[in-house]
Structure formats: C-alpha cells, structure tokens
Amino acid sequence: MIYYSPCKINIGLHVFNKRADGFHNLDTFMYPIAWYDVIEILPNETFSFSISGLKIPGDPIDNLCVKAYYLLKNDFSFPNCSIHLHKVIPMGAGIGGGSANAAIVLKGLNEVFQLGISNSKLKEYAATLGSDCAFFIDCLPQIATGRGEQLIPANFSLKGYWIKLVNIGIHISTKEAFQNVSFTDKKKSIKEIIGKTKIEMFTKEIENSFEPYVFGLHPNLLEVKQKLLQQGAVYVAMSGSGSTLYGIFEAEPTTTIYQSAPNYFEKIVKCEF
C-alpha cells in the first residue's frame, strides 16, 4: 500500500511556561499542508526499512517510522513488513515531516494488517513518539494545547489561499529554542482569535514565542519574513521552533526569494483543507 505523508504549519505558537515534567504549556493552531513524503508498506518475510530521496542523517534504526513499527509490534501480532520512505519534505524545518511519517506508518500498519485500532488509540500511540505526531492521525486543522498533545478540531479553513514555505538552510535546535523561548502573556486563546479575526489581523493578535530568540540569532530569517510581506503575503510567521518561514497569499505568488545557500528550499502549495 502507498501512503502520502503531509506536513503542517503553526499559525501562532504561544508558549506560556515550563511544566514540572520538563515540557512546556503551549497554545497553537496546526494546519496541514499538501506537500508529501511517500511511504510504502508491504508484507515481507523479514522487517526492513529503506529510504530514498533526501538523505536523512543518523542510523535508520532511530527513524520514527521504525519506532512506530516496533511500538505496534510490541502490542499486536502481525506479519513482518517492508517500509520504504521516499523523503521529499526537509528534516528539522519546523513543519512536522518526521512526525507525519510516524503517524502515517501507524495508520498504514493498522490498515494493511487490519489491527482494528481506533483513531483515539492511534493518537495515544502517536503521542508517545512526539508531541506533533498525534496531529497527523486525523490531519485536519486543529488547536493543540498542553504540551501539544491535547487536540481540538478547529472550524477554520484556508481553502483557496496559497502558502509559500521558505527555508534558507539554517538548522534550529528545538532543545536550544525551548531553552531561550520568550514566554507569552497573551490572554486570548488562539482558538478564539482565529474564530473571530480576519487573517490580515493575525499579526496583531498572534505570535510565535520562538521568533524573538531565533530572529536575534539569525537576522537573515527576519529578512525573509519581511520579503514575504513585500511580496504581498497577508500573514507571515515562522513555523514551530524554526527555521521555516511561511507566507499566506490570496493569489499564487510568482516572485522568488533567491538564496545561494545549501539546503535552501521554497515550496508553493495551494491550500486543500
């Protein structure tokens, strides 16, 4: 079976404080983006995992796809399989590509081997693999609170808009970003804001708590944000803890932000959700 594994953006990411368990209390709106990795799952005599497309550093045994496989294998009896990941979405970009891969493997194994696992249970499994993973089980616009695992569907759509993703090849350490995050004092919930506020006004109402630190460390990321606004984006922000910037456009953007940097990418996607 072939599965398509999307990514997401964070529209607003308010970090309030650090919890006793070491995680952080946050409030964010996660929106799925129709840009996909491809995953193939087939029954096989032995378990195997292979990768094509973008190179993924590190030992493949540490890949979230493999961890997802063994997570279910510990609780269910099903045949071995081969999992092949064709990687298109860059890693460490703040858009959840790896988290989606894990969630799609969980869903795929459930379907291929007819395990009968409910969506709510799949989300529980996914949450043990990473805070963003559970979002991709339903893969619908959702508000995430708590440490990111408490998900509430959001009645909000960007259908008809265009999103331009820009990453200039800078890697942001998630651990370092959380250590230096600027806690917000925003009182309104993001759910309330997106329900009552026009997109053009999001800049005044919503923030990404990581931007002050990340932009201070890498001023050229702030320049990218400014260029997206100059191109006509109605809203621009950094996704997650970085370093991808995105702009929301009413019409398909045609100009390019050129950067002669390794691992640079631009992607323009029409909103489908």
Convert the pLDDT of each residue in 139-185 to its tens digit. Answer: 999 999 998 889 999 989 999 999 999 999 888 888 899 999 999 99
Rounded Cα distance between 70 and 185, Å, is 41
Rounded Cα distance between 79 and 42, Å, is 10
Lowest-pLDDT choice from 13-17, 63-67, 89-93, 151-155: 89-93
Whole-number percent of the chain with pLDDT over 90: 79
Q: According to CATH, where is 3.30.70.890 located in the chain?
A: 162-270
**Interval 111-132 mean pLDDT:** 94
- The mean pLDDT of the chain is 93
Q: Grade residue 273 by pLDDT with cuts at 50, 70 and 90.
A: confident
Assigned token pair, 219: 């001023």
Of 107, 63, 70, 106, nearest to 85 by C-alpha is 63
Q: Which H or E run includes 15?
A: strand 2-18
**Interval 62-78 mean pLDDT:** 97
pLDDT value at residue 93: 87
Rounded Cα distance between 33 and 8, Å, is 5
The structure's pTM equals 0.92
For the chain, the distance separating the N- and C-terminal CA atoms, rounded to the nearest angstrom, is 24
Active site residue ranges:
8, 132
Rounded Cα distance between 116 and 199, Å, is 40
Q: Out of 3.40.640.10, 3.30.70.890, 3.20.20.140, 1.10.10.10, which CATH number does the structure's domain 162-270 have?
A: 3.30.70.890
Q: According to CATH, where is 3.30.230.10 located in the chain?
A: 2-153
The structural architecture, per CATH, of the domain 2-153 is 2-Layer Sandwich (3.30)
Is 222's pLDDT higher than 80?
Answer: yes
CB atoms within 10 A of CB 212: 13
Q: Which H or E run includes 125?
A: helix 119-129
